[in-house]
Amino acid sequence: MTIFLKNKHTLKIDDFYFNCCIGKNGLSKTKIEGDKKTPKGTFGIQHLYYRKDKLKKPKTSLKCIEINRNMGWCDDVNISKKYNKLIKIEKKIRHEKLYRKDYKYDLFIPIKYNFKNIITGKGSCIFIHLTKDYQPTAGCIALKKKDFLILLKLINKRTKIKIY
């Protein structure tokens, strides 16, 4: 099963089309940290991360991980051992906070971009996450919650996402 990013506003899986938004600066084959671009290519997806305090565990065949206050995703180009990985938050390591005040990461799935043989600075924290207004992201793909919940029922751990 493959999720297709048909254009910067449409995600397609099977016969379902979902409105979405992508990185503020469009798509790129040569993504770098902080460029606000969504990487082009075909990638696997990881687990579902969710906020148990805000919603019940969604119906999905993906492994579900509860987000807690000390979880972060390392985007620190100076710490190559932890770059683009889930970490326990430390003040001295730059990271994307996963337990947020807003709703954007109440549900998210990491896209396996720059996951194997990680290249520091090539881009991190590329997620499928939530949006309410389809404003451009920092490089992720974002969907409305109702569409995200439908998507979760359609995908599994072998699902790929094709961004072109």
pLDDT at 58: 97
Element (H, E) at 107: strand 107-110
pLDDT at 43: 98
Average pLDDT, the chain: 97
Q: Which residue has the tokens 């109702």?
A: 146
Radius of gyration of the chain (CA): 15
Round to whole Å and give the CA distance between 116 and 122: 12
pLDDT at 55: 96
pLDDT at 53: 97
Residues of the chain short of pLDDT 70, as ranges, are: none
pLDDT at 88: 98
pLDDT at 111: 98
pTM of the complete model: 0.97
Q: Of 160, 139, 140, which Cα lies nearest the Cα of 36?
A: 139
Cβ neighbourhood burial of 144 (10 Å; 0-12, 13-18, 19+): middle
Round to whole Å and give the CA distance between 125 and 145: 19
Round to whole Å and give the CA distance between 19 and 21: 7
Largest Cα separation within the chain, whole Å, is: 46
Report all structural domains of the chain as residue ranges with CATH numbers, in order of start: 2-163 (2.40.440.10)
Supply angle C-alpha 45, 80, 47, rounded to 5: 20
pLDDT at 62: 98
The Cβ-side half-sphere exposure at 25, using a 13 Å CA radius, reads 13
